Amino acid sequence: MPDALSAVLAFDGLAWLCAGVFLAGAVRGFSGFGAALVYMPIAGQFMPPVWALITLVVMEVFGPIPNLPSAWRVADLGQVSRIALGGAVALPIGLAVLLAVEPEVFRYAVSAIALAVPFLLVSGLRLTGPITRPLQYGTGVMSGFIGGVAGLPGPPVILLYMASTTPAAVIRANIMLYLVAVDLALIAILTLQGEMVLTAVWLGLFLAIPNLLGNLAGAAMFRPERQRLYRIFGYGVMIAVGLSGLPIWD
């Protein structure tokens, strides 16, 4: 334990990671999503892709815990379970791709997704019909693949709900529960594949503290009537960290 803690405290860029994690947690706390979109471009600058994914899923299991009871009461659990099932099917495929690519490719992919999501949402993308079951499963499959290959399982689900007429509180709850389910599935798959590096796990546990504090701060700020303000702030954060994560700045 002391050796593991020493390794974490000596990790290069720890202060930047803690600041980024708090901000990611705050974005997740008031919007229900966006933590990975904020964290992964930052993490990609300081650690290998698999480490970035491990730290993300470990800390994200603990960060949203205070907000889960209320999310459970509000969410459409049927939709969440169908999307999560589709994601679980595609996660291993995405992980296989992640383990085969160079770290620089990973960073470009993460930054590109982080930049694309807010622009797609701002563009006025809208879903004209209902969120059917095939659409839920298909979105889950796409989300699982992207989650495995880039550590960002949220964007397809975020786009689906943001383009729909689903109430803001239900969107927040559905996405929050779905992301927790994906994190648990990723932990199980990475463990079975022998990829759960112990130092990365300890780093994720350490980062869970600022992540939890950020989630609490974001949840305290959440007001359904201020949805537009929160979205604008979240989009701005995603664009900023997406640009900062590009390898061209190295």
Answer yes or no: is pLDDT of 76 > 90.
yes
The DSSP call for residue 101 is S
Residue in the block written with tokens 């992540």: 211
- Statement: residue 123 has pLDDT above 60: yes
Give residue-wise pLDDT tens across range 20-65: 899 888 877 776 667 787 888 888 888 888 898 899 888 888 777 8
Close Cβ partners of 156 (under 8 Å, ≥ 6 residues apart): 139, 142, 143, 146
Q: How far apart are CA 248 and CA 250, in angstroms?
A: 6
87 vs 44: CA distance, rounded Å: 23
Tell me, what's the pLDDT at 135? 93
DSSP string spanning 151-207? S--SHHHHHHHHTS---HHHHHHHHHHHHHHHHHHHHHHHHHTT---HHHHHHHHHH
Q: pTM of this prediction?
A: 0.77
Residue 85 above 70 pLDDT? yes
Q: Mean pLDDT over all residues of the chain?
A: 83
Instruction: Count the residues in the chain.
Output: 250
* Confidence grade of residue 217 (pLDDT, cut at 50, 70, 90): confident
Percent of the chain with pLDDT over 90: 24
Least confident of 7-16, 110-119, 237-246: 237-246
Every domain of the chain and the residues it spans: 2-249
pLDDT tens sequence across 130-147: 889 999 999 999 999 988
Cα 114 to the chain's mean position, in Å? 10
* Type of residue found at 193: Q
Q: Give the pLDDT confidence score for residue 86 in this predicted structure.
A: 94
Q: Looking up tokens 């209320």, which residue turns up?
A: 70
Q: Which amino acid is at 212?
A: L
- Give the whole-angstrom CA distance, residue 14 versus residue 11: 6
